[in-house]
Amino acid sequence: MNDLIIMEQEASEVISELEKHGYEAYYVGGYVRDKFLNRNIKDIDITTSAYPSIVMDIFSHTVPTGLQHGTVTVVMRNYHFEVTTYRTESEYEDHRRPKEVRFVSKLMDDLERRDFTMNAMAIDINGTIIDPFGGKRDLSTKILKCVGDPLLRFSEDALRMMRAIRFAAEYDLQVEQKTWNAILLHKEEIKHIAMERISAELDKMMEGSNPKKGVQLLIASELMNYTKENLQIHKTNWLALSDHSVLNVFEHIHEGTIRWILLLMLLKTETSQMTVLLKKLKFSNHKIMRIHVVNQVKDCLNEQNYSESSWKKAVIMFGVDAVKDLHTLLNALAIDQHYFKLLPFKMSKVDLDHILQKGLDWIDEIPIMQIRELEISGTDVVGLKSKSGPWIRIVLNQLLTEVALNELENKQEDLMNRAIQIVRGMNEYE
Ligand code: ATP
Ligand code: MG
């Protein structure tokens, strides 16, 4: 049995158990949508008439993940499922959260609170679809449409505007005119939404199947002009992307983070500004660092050149992963010389081809990449000067670079002799 069949089997056990106890339960939301589209299923959400306390009584292993929203996670043998009590939301505060969540007894009321027609479908245990708002029809005709009045729905929760764009991009949908007009009217209300939630949507969009469409819709909606923190995106560069085929390059990059690097480069964001922008978007430090270092490699190679030795030195200085990330990016850009010219690389077509052909082999040729792999250590060189200090690291780094470039053998004697020379050179300048 494959994983999905096992997951569906366990989910059906959850539903039938709830039914056995006299409650209603259905598959709902993203699972129903993705099942209909034959897309990859990540998880299965279940909606039920049973109150959270009852769900917790019925199943032996549960986690109260979001009781205030009526969500209990039911842990089965291999998978866990979010089981949420039918609910409505009322009186939204600050365009972002309902003042009150009320449990209700009818499935219909629960589906009505959901954002888009395609997300407001349910399936019962026998496979019958409950689709009161025409979600299936909208998916077949590739339309993204709010449940109910879009003006009201976006005014209740401004994050839905970001979700609309993310879903339209992911599933290649046309945003229905009334829904789109409502986004344009409510765009300023995006300022009420926490940056973390915005960037979670942006991230899903950038990692998804069509970031090009997502970026174009974002530009057209102007939502990014009104975020809580001013992202200070260069307006002309941002608008210029809208009808530029360079965004096709996203298709040739499979990793979200490298797509971000491309986007930021296209916006001509300076390396120093990038970190500021990514911090405002509340990216993890790890991700910020990864993006930052790739840009440092680019800046460094721009300043020197894209020769074999600069490339290898960059590996030593910035790490192999950053140089490989840059290679991936260059590889995608190389599909069209015209795209390449739009980016801040100071390299010729000849250099580019050379790097693409040889860059990865050059990395493989590097015998060692870390100071600790040298056959001598700080203790061996410390005696070469009267006192220890930062010079030790400088010497070891120099040795590492020379070994990496195959100019020096990683043998104790050779290393020591070279270290003596380097220190002598240093002394002359002191
Ligand atoms: P994915 O998991 O791929 O992002 P999803 O549809 O499962 O897609 P979730 O954020 O997991 O999205 O939400 C599950 C369901 O909850 C949605 O399908 C939708 O019915 C409802 N929902 C989520 N967020 C909102 C919202 N802001 N407003 C109204 N309904 C929402
Ligand atoms: Mg989901």
Give me the pLDDT at residue 167, please.
98
398: its two tokens:
């120099």
Q: Per-residue b/e over 187-201, b at no fewer than 16 CB within 10 Å?
A: bebbbbbebebbbbb
218: its two tokens:
């974002």
Give me the pLDDT at residue 430, please.
66
Nearest CA among 66, 73, 69 for reference residue 46 = 73
Whole-model pTM: value is: 0.91
| Whole-angstrom Cα Rg for the chain | 28
Nearest CA among 31, 29, 28, 25 for reference residue 7 = 31
Give me the pLDDT at residue 96, please.
80
- Length of the chain in residues, anyone? 430
Q: Strands 174-175 and 143-144: what pairing?
A: parallel
135: its two tokens:
């979600």
The helix/strand/coil state of 409 is: coil
Instruction: State the distance from the centre of ligand 1 to the C-alpha of 29, rounded, in angstroms.
Output: 6
Q: Strands 45-48 and 80-85: what pairing?
A: parallel
Verify whether ligand 1 is closer than 6 Å to residue 30 (CB atom): yes
Verify whether ligand 1 is closer than 6 Å to residue 159 (CB atom): yes
Give me the pLDDT at residue 12, please.
98
Give me the pLDDT at residue 336, please.
83
Q: Do 43 and 82 touch, CB atoms closer than 8 A?
A: yes
Residue nearest to atom 17 of ligand 1 (CA): 29
Nearest atom in ligand 1 to 170's CA: 3
Verify whether ligand 1 is closer than 6 Å to residue 259 (CB atom): no
Closest ligand to C-alpha of residue 28 is 1
From the first residue on, what is the mean pLDDT of each consecutive set of 10 residues in the chain (430 residues)? 91 98 97 95 96 97 93 97 93 77 94 97 97 97 98 96 98 98 98 96 96 96 96 89 86 95 91 91 96 95 94 96 96 86 86 94 96 94 88 95 96 96 82
Give me the pLDDT at residue 270, please.
84
Give me the pLDDT at residue 1, please.
67
153: its two tokens:
């729905």
Residue nearest to atom 6 of ligand 1 (CA): 30
- Write phi, then psi, for 414 (nearest 5 degrees): -60, -40
Give me the pLDDT at residue 132, please.
97
d(Cα 226, Cα 188) in Å, to the nearest integer? 5
Q: CB-based burial of residue 154 (10 Å sphere; 0-12 exposed, 13-18 middle, 19+ buried)? A: buried
Nearest CA among 171, 175, 172 for reference residue 161 = 175
Verify whether ligand 1 is closer than 6 Å to residue 114 (CB atom): yes
Nearest CA among 33, 29, 45 for reference residue 81 = 45
The residues placing their C-beta within 5 Å of ligand 2, an ion, are 30
Verify whether ligand 1 is closer than 6 Å to residue 295 (CB atom): no
**Residue from 28, 115, 155 to probe ligand 1 pocket by mutation (most atoms less than 8 Å from CB):** 115
Q: CB-based burial of residue 130 (10 Å sphere; 0-12 exposed, 13-18 middle, 19+ buried)? A: middle
Give me the pLDDT at residue 387, please.
85
Give me the pLDDT at residue 269, please.
87
Residue nearest to atom 25 of ligand 1 (CA): 115
5 residue type, one letter: I
Instruction: State the distance from the centre of ligand 2 to the C-alpha of 43, rounded, in angstroms.
Output: 6
